[in-house]
Amino acid sequence: MTEPWALSIDDAAALIGRRELSAGELLASLLERINQTEERFQAWTSIDIEGAMEAARQADQDSANHRKHGWLHGIPIGVKDVIDTAGWPTEAGSRACAGRIPAADAASVAALRTAGATILGKTVTHEFAYGQNTPPTRSPWGLDRYPGGSSAGSGVAVAAGHVPGALGTDTAGSIRNPAAVNGIVGLRPTTGLVNTDGLVGLSPRLDQVGPIARSVTDCTLLLAGLVDDAVRHRLGNGDDPVRALRNRAASHDSVRVGVDRASWAESGVTADVIAVLEEAVEDLRRNGAHIVEVSLPELRIGLPITLVFCLLDASEKYRTLLAARAADMAPGTRVMFELGLVVTDADLDLALNARRFLQQTLRRAFEEHRLTALASPTLPAVAPRLADLATDLTRDGEAADLSGALLLLSPSNVCGLPGLSLPCGKAGGLPVGMHLLGRPFDDLDLLALGYRYEQETPWKTMKPDCWQSVGGEIDLP
């Protein structure tokens, strides 16, 4: 039998539902897995063992009484440390927030608890989710490799088998980026779909909370746990999210996927990643999708729009903290907050206009070509070595530079569109992610497209070497 820690959310929930696995057994297996590997990966800022054990006990008691809370009954979940958890530290990866303990759960955390999830602990984030510092988290694909960001801990915890799913936040790609480098799946939902109250965020214009998991099915289950009933029905996956996903995927014979290869080149996508994406696009075609060549050079303005929104909104939000605790912030983060202080109303007007322009451009392209999604690489290169990584978000892209990723991912945030990253192959032994940008509130269509791709390709089973070592030493480079 598969070790409980290695189970998907879907499978674990089914076993718990049939009482063939208890929530306590699942939790114990995950805690043992964390105990074996956390020293190397450092995915967590804190683990609420007592709280999780109590929640698991309650879940098992409820199971015995035939009371099931939801699709996530008894499933342990990690939560990025910018998302509030009642009575448990939420420090946003910053010394300036050390000791901060929120009184209430963020709306997303409360929703997951209502759906039956056990909140296992808080995962490492770049400071304030800004991606400017270097957290201690290390990639299970290579300790010297970039583990993703800013939801680095959530991505690594899921990829390393510490937890079957986690919450991340995505202001400019911070869910999809760690999903890509860790060989897993991440969804940045449509803006407004998930309640972001209780988020130590950067920009309400750009921020979104979303799921990170090892399959599209599990992301769908997490998303269903994050939204309320009305939204779930609007999405079309009301009563049984997995069945709705499969039904939607089965009806996808005439799906149309746009590809803008020129934008890949302009974003500095490396030749090895392009080769993997070409194969992925061919797999989509073989799988029934109609591939449509599109030209969208306007996507490049997503980066400067993001920059203006992020700088301005974050500096407004953290101005008081900056004045009081500047010395406790990492220099890179502090510089971003400082720079935001000089962004003017005229600069904001430019960005607002450009956002309308980009939205109209994308809408026109999706409608003219009747697209379900626009496919691209998630990142322009495989995970760079940490020693080679530049983190300046204001620059306009090079291969080992995070800003190249922003060119590909930021249009989703700027226009509020759903973006899904899922594994589509390897280059140089490291995972490559495919990004699917979708129509607003058509998140289920996007997931269905990803699900169908996932079912017809081997990449869902792609795991780092440490996955094989259960209860023993991990072999890492």
Partner 1 sequence: MTETSGLEDARLAAIGAVVGGDILAADRPALDEAYANLVGGLDRLRQVPLVGEPGRAFTVGWDS
Q: Which is nearer to partner 1, 137 or 333 (CB)?
A: 333
Nearest to 302 by CA among 347, 358, 248, 231: 358
| Residue 370 interacts with partner 1 (CB under 8 A): yes or no | no
Let me know if 122 is a catalytic residue: no
Q: How many CB atoms lie within 10 A of CB 98?
A: 11
What is the rounded CA–CA span in Å between residue 154 and residue 160? 10
Nearest to 168 by CA among 97, 47, 71, 82: 82
What is the rounded CA–CA span in Å between residue 205 and residue 202? 9
Q: Which is nearer to partner 1, 60 or 443 (CB)?
A: 443
- Write the interaction track for partner 1 spanning residues 202-221; mark x where CB under 8 A is met and - where it is not: ---x----------------
Write down the least CB distance from residue 99 to partner 1, Å: 22
Residues 400-429 that bind partner 1 (CB under 8 A): 415-417
| Residue 373 interacts with partner 1 (CB under 8 A): yes or no | no
What is the rounded CA–CA span in Å between residue 264 and residue 273? 10
- Stretch near partner 1 under the rule CB under 8 A, chosen from 62-70, 217-225, 316-324, 424-432: 316-324
Which is it for strands 419-427 and 209-213: parallel, antiparallel or unpaired? unpaired
212 close to 149: Cβ distance less than 8 angstroms? no
DSSP per residue, 263-306:
HHHHTT--HHHHHHHHHHHHHHHHTTPEEEE---GGGGGHHHHH
- E strand or H helix at 385, and its extent? none
Write down the least CB distance from residue 273 to partner 1, Å: 25
Write down the least CB distance from residue 415 to partner 1, Å: 7
- Write the interaction track for partner 1 spanning residues 180-199; mark x where CB under 8 A is met and - where it is not: ----------xxx-------
Write down the least CB distance from residue 195 to partner 1, Å: 14
| Residue 231 interacts with partner 1 (CB under 8 A): yes or no | no
- Stretch near partner 1 under the rule CB under 8 A, chosen from 49-57, 179-187, 381-389, 393-401: 393-401
Q: From the candidates 22, 29, 80, 315, which is the catalytic residue?
A: 80
Could you give the angle at the alpha carbon of 366 between the alpha carbons of 431 and 373, nearest 5°? 25
| Residue 339 interacts with partner 1 (CB under 8 A): yes or no | yes
What is the rounded CA–CA span in Å between residue 76 and residue 151? 17
Residues belonging to the active site: 80, 150, 174
Q: By the criterion CB under 8 A, which residues form the site for partner 1? A: 190-192, 205, 300-301, 303-305, 307-308, 311, 319, 322-323, 326-327, 331-332, 334-336, 338-339, 341-343, 347, 349-357, 359-360, 363, 366-367, 392, 394-396, 415-417, 439-441
